[in-house]
Amino acid sequence: TPVIIEVALNGVHTKERNPHLPTDPDEVRADAIRCFAAGASIVHAHHRMGTMEFNEGVRTPGHAIDDYVAAWGPLLDAQPDALWYPGLLVGADFEALAEKVPLRIAPVDPGSVNLGRPDAEGLPTGTVYAN
């Protein structure tokens, strides 16, 4: 039976929480290569999550695109059939990214969703992701 394995390399966490978390383009690219080699079908990654607060873009959309190009351009040169997709690029333009790095799939954000996440003491707390 065929299986599709999707890997989410990082997200809203930081290196303080997990020192092995890939946050810069070189780390994201290296981990993505390892994941594809291990059998992943799709890889998803955010740009520089270690330098951002959740839902507060410290970096500009242009930086996000630059980070994705630096991470995925060389990987796709070597593995043009690799399936990957970025975070939602708040305030950025997917067309601008797709002009520089091919996107064969993309995320779809249907709106808001309720999420659970740990507070400072590690206890669960609710939050709403609203797009």
Task: Please report, as a single letter, which amino acid is at residue 66.
Answer: D
Give the global pTM.
0.75
Confidence at residue 54, expressed as pLDDT on a 0 to 100 scale:
39
Confidence at residue 110, expressed as pLDDT on a 0 to 100 scale:
75
Task: Please report, as a single letter, which amino acid is at residue 55.
Answer: N
Is residue 88 predicted with pLDDT exceeding 90?
A: no
Q: What share of the chain is helix, strand, coil (3-state, %, to 5)?
A: 30, 20, 50
Confidence at residue 74, expressed as pLDDT on a 0 to 100 scale:
94
Q: Which of 70, 67, 64 is nearest to 91 (CA)?
A: 64
The answer to whether 27 and 8 have CB atoms below 8 angstroms apart is: no
Q: What is the pLDDT of residues 27-81, one digit of tens each?
A: 999 999 999 999 999 999 887 654 444 344 444 556 677 888 899 999 999 999 9
Confidence at residue 126, expressed as pLDDT on a 0 to 100 scale:
82
Domains of the chain in sequence order? 6-129 (3.20.20.70)
Report d(CA 8, CA 121) in Å as an integer: 24
